Amino acid sequence: MVPFLALEFAWEWLAYFLSNWKFLEVLEYMSSLSVLIAVLFYFSESGDRIKQKHYQAWQVINTAQGKGGSGGRIEALQELNADRIPLVGVDVSGAFLQGINLAAARLLRANFNSTDLRDSDFRLADFSDADLKSANFRGSNLTKANFRGADLSGSDLSEVDLTESNLTGANLDDADLTGRISPEFTGAIWRARRMP
């Protein structure tokens, strides 16, 4: 036990000596200051990190353009939409995007030609003048979506919810509209087909 007691006694004297040393007190303050500076830098660079995140998401989308499968596009599109970035003119033709959530997305002039969008959420989405030919929307939520001037020819719209959707000027030639069609929606289809 004597060696341990001697070691303990030596450590106590060393701690006492160092506690009275002002240099260590200055080092302690500087370490606290460095943490504060790191926090300030972290928050000052948050805008750059968000821009970098958006740039990487667009890179995923553009790299996978023209290819089948998801290729990370579901996550990239959802991330951009969650940050309220307009997806105007995005080209995801032929992609597998089943179950994607792009509620309230701005998809004007987007290209979803032959894209698999089954069971997706596009509530309040704006598809104005979009290319949606042969897109598969089966079972999707398209409530209050805007399809003004969109090309939905040959699309699968069976079992979709198109409540209060705007189909003014939309092309619905050969679109599959089987399933839940309310009388109000039937009137909307008729008006869409009659528009020039």
pTM as predicted: 0.71
pLDDT of 188 higher than 70: no
Name the DSSP class of 165: -
Q: What is the mean pLDDT of residues 64-88?
A: 92
Which pLDDT score, from 0 to 100, does residue 195 have? Answer: 44
Phi, psi of 18 (to 5 degrees): -70, -30
β-bridge mates for residue 179, sequence order: none
Greater pLDDT, 46 or 192: 46
Task: Please tell me the distance from the alpha carbon of residue 164 to that of residue 94, in angstroms, as a whole number.
Answer: 28
Q: What sign does the CA torsion over 92, 175, 189, 119 have?
A: negative
Q: What band does 180 get if pLDDT is binned at 50, 70 and 90? A: low
Domain boundaries, given as residue ranges, for the chain = 1-44, 52-194
Q: What is the mean pLDDT of residues 1-14?
A: 79
* Radius of gyration of the chain, Cα coordinates, nearest whole angstrom: 30
pLDDT of 103 higher than 60: yes
63 close to 83: Cβ distance less than 8 angstroms: no
Which pLDDT score, from 0 to 100, does residue 185 have? Answer: 56
Angle of helix 46-63 relative to helix 73-82, nearest 10 degrees?
Answer: 140
Which pLDDT score, from 0 to 100, does residue 49 have? Answer: 82
Q: What is the mean pLDDT of residues 34-60?
A: 82
Greater pLDDT, 83 or 12: 83
Which pLDDT score, from 0 to 100, does residue 193 have? Answer: 47
Task: Please tell me the distance from the alpha carbon of residue 80 to that of residue 102, in angstroms, as a whole number.
Answer: 9
Mean pLDDT for all residues in the chain: 86
pLDDT of 44 higher than 50: yes
